[in-house]
Structure 1
Amino acid sequence: MNGDIHCGEGAGAARPRAPGTGIPAAVIMVVGMGALVALTIWGLSDAHPTGESLGRDIAAGVLGCVLSPVLLRWPVTGALGLTLLAALSPAATPAATLGALLVAQRRGFPVAVAVAAAGIVAHAVQGTWRPNGGISFGWWLVLITVGYGALVGWGALARARHALVASLRERARRAEAEQGRRVAEGRMLERTRIAREMHDVLAHRLSLLATYAGALEYRPDSPPEQLARAAGVVRAGAHQALDELRDVINLLRDEDTVEGHEPDGRPQPVLADLPRLVDESRDAGGRVRLRNEVVDPDALPAAAGRTAYRVVQEGLTNARKHATGRPVQVMLEGRPGARLVIDIRNPLPEDGAATSITPGTGTGLVGLTERVQLAGGRLDHEVTAGEFRLRAWLPWPA
């Protein structure tokens, strides 16, 4: 019976009950209450065999059984009505005490105490005109008070447990939603990282290939030796670009990859690899001037070195794409305990027309700015005095 009553409580008086859900609880309540009333009347008939009192008890018990389902919808009103009926006959006591329990389960503690107090008063009135044999009125009142106190405590405990379960369910729902949000954010961050890594690694390589391919296209009358050499560079560069693409994808998928190393164990490029990067640009026909004034470059942290390499790589790639044939000046300076400064400049085309040999998306500098900011630095770029300037600052702890 308790389980069905609890289900009725969950429906509550504040919202309508779904069709048919209240019928099983009401039927079980009437049947169970009928059994308790029958036992109560049987005990009363042995103690007071008079016909008048027995008829009154039967009428009060039947009325209590009939009215008990009202507690499922209006617990306070039903409990007070059954409490008033309990003042007239002990046969209504089971229904009245059940009402006090349901009020304690479904209403606040002050309301439950008030209903319990009304029940104690009603049973005190009952005890004055219909004494119980074998026990004094004082002890009778003590037992009634203890019983109602137990009912209020039981109901309050059940209500607190129900509130706790509801709170835990809500917390679990919120945690699941939060976990879903974190997974979505993680996927977005992973996609952003993939795009940034692919741009940094492949844009430089593909722009070199485009430069050699452009030379083959515009100078078909070149000596066969130069054409063969350019074709070989294009072929080797294409294979290298594919290898770098595979390395980037493996790097982002392999959780066991050591920080600062490629999946095959090769270290990622750092500041010491800048001369090789400049030589690649020069071999492709670029006019690059490198001025490296870094003091104690071996003391530069590897993460800062990788970021500096990517900054220079992006600067050379942009110059090759948007200012083909124009000279590029790369300057680095810094020392431990200060900061590393990277300054890249290249003149713009004199006629202002775009000379890009490969289309650009405009997202390279956006990703590069994010990379520098994640390293604790800052990156600025501007067009002034007829040249494009890219300047980055990276922290260099002592």
Structure 2
Amino acid sequence: MTPTSEPHQEYRWVLPSVLLGDGGAGGPVRRSTRDWIVDIAMFLLACGLTLMTALEIDGPTPLVAAEQVVGVISCLSVWLRRRWPVGLALVTTVASGYFEMVGGASVVALFTVAVHRPFKISGTIAGLGLLVIVPFYFLRPDVDLGGPTYAILALAIVLTTFAWGIVVRARRQLIWSLRQRADGAAEEAKRLERERIAREMHDVLAHRLSMLSLHAGALEFRPGAPPDEVARAAGAIRASAHLALQDLREVIGVLRHHDADAEVPDRPQPTLADLPALVAECEQAGMDVSLRLKAGEVPEKPGRNLYRIVQEALTNARKHAAGAPVTVTVTGGPGEGVSAEVRNWLPVRHGPRIPGVQIPGAGAGLIGLTERAALAGGRLEHGPTPEGEYVVRAWLPWPART
């Protein structure tokens, strides 16, 4: 994966190599403060084990000198464990089959591989570490401990180091997995918020712009209208444009919200109580709309969703059946749910649309309404009837009062 300029994507790219050590082998090592502390501790551990071994070495002077040189080199090589962990582990493990003072570096290298490499690699090196005990047992027998005791001690050191490394690796994998899930959940939350804002923008702006287009079309095809009607239509155009810009500015303000940790406030949302005002606004634009509101005090959430559904249905009626009468009926009660039905005559039955007032649509309105109803736990149906009408019918749950 290629690093990107976005912080969260760069974090995802670096995270596996930092926690698991599965990337960048042989490349430049960039140590953090924690890495320096760990590496210094590992170096001191290797030196300490080597010094403990050096105090017990006896034999010919050339052998002692060789042990000391190899011991110093092996301790210094511990600083290469991040760049070449597998190679270092192989060399030190093979060398420990004869040289005692390589044992400290071999332990550190085995632990590093167990932490930073998969089991098929680390397990192979651990098995090699067990095998080299056999030649060391015969080539460098320990007189003080005895052969069997030394073999058991070496076996315990190899297995303990390997198991410790496996546990550390498993813990780091768990942490990395939890962070990945947290990142995925954050991305999903952002996606859902973007979809919510997109639906909000579509619902609001489609209504405002359709009203503006309707008034502008009336002015265009009625140039000889009385001055008061022209002034009223121009005022409606100005008001609709102002409200559309205000709604757009509020939505863009939410999108530009920089504080990711703070809760983004929702815009003031209309409810079912604002439905008469919506119908009055449509009537001022020249629509023939009748409202039958037969529901009580609908809760805020279903009322808000139902308002948006009716608003989009009225917008569609203006787009595709201009001049046709529209009937809006809202019924329901606690426990049985709340329903909204919007009916209008199809253009074929009612007559041709007014020239110049056709408003283009993307076809996403009804899809968005269906998704909105489904997310609210309800359903939405739409389509023509045999009588020549087009009906949009929605039902949303209304929990019974307790």
What TM-score do you get using the length of structure 1 for normalisation? 0.66
**1:167 Cα offset (Å):** 4.2
Deviation, structure 1 residue 246:
2.8
Alignment of 1:185-334 (within 5 A): 185-250=188-253, 262=268, 268-294=269-295, 297-298=296-297, 300-334=298-332
| 1:360 Cα offset (Å) | 0.8
Match of 2:38 in 1: none
State whether residues 103 and 155 of structure 1, in contact with CA within 8 Å, keep that contact through their aligned partners in structure 2. Answer: no
| Whole-angstrom distance in 2 between the partners of 1:236 and 1:38 | 91
Partner SS for 2:348: coil
Q: What is the DSSP-based 3-state SS (H/G/I as helix, E as strand, rest coil) of the residue aligned with 1:350?
A: helix
Alignment size in residue pairs: 329
Q: Is the contact between residue 332 and residue 339 of structure 2 (CA under 8 Å) also seen in structure 1?
A: yes
**2:197 alignment partner, SS class:** helix
Give the drift of 1:320.
Answer: 0.6
Structure 1 residue 397, shift from structure 2 partner = 0.6
Equivalents in 2 of 1:191, 1:373: separation in Å? 18
Q: In the aligned structure 1, how far is the partner of 2:51 from the partner of 2:334?
A: 90
Unaligned regions of 5+ residues in structure 1, if any?
A: 1-9, 19-30, 45-56, 83-91, 128-139, 263-267
Which of 66, 69, 73 is the equivalent residue of 2:90?
73
Partner of 2:5: none
How big is the shift at 1:65? 8.2
Q: 1:102 to 1:341 in 2, by over 3 A?
A: closer
Whole-Å separation in 1 of the counterparts to 2:48 and 2:274: 87
Deviations 1:304-326, CA, capped at 9 Å, x for gaps: 11111111111111001110011
Query: Which ranges of structure 2 fall in alignment gaps of 5 or more residues?
Result: 1-19, 28-46, 75-86, 114-121
Q: Matches of 2:88 and 2:255 in 1, distance apart?
A: 63
TM alignment of 1:1-398, pairs within 5 A: 43-44=58-59, 57=60, 73=90, 82=98, 108=123, 116=133, 127=143, 140-141=144-145, 147-171=150-174, 174=177, 177-178=180-181, 180-250=183-253, 262=268, 268-294=269-295, 297-298=296-297, 300-350=298-348, 357-385=358-386, 386-398=388-400
Query: The residue matched to 1:326 in structure 2 has which SS?
Result: coil
- Corresponding letter in the other structure for 2:210: S
CA gap of 1:353–1:114, structure 2 versus 1, over 3 A, is farther
SS in 1 for 2:322: coil
Distance 2:279 2:140 in 1: 100
Q: CA deviation at 1:329?
A: 1.5
Q: What TM-score do you get using the length of structure 2 for normalisation?
A: 0.65
Moved more, 308-317 or 375-384: 375-384
Contact 1:336/1:396 (CA < 8 Å) preserved in 2?
yes
> Among the aligned pairs, what percent are the same residue?
40
Deviation at 1:201, TM superposition (A): 1.3
Say if 2:130 and 2:158, in contact at 8 Å, map to a contact too. no
RMSD value over aligned CA atoms?
A: 4.4
Verify the 8 A CA contact 2:291 2:327 in the aligned structure 1. Answer: yes
1:191 offset after TM fit, Å?
Answer: 2.8
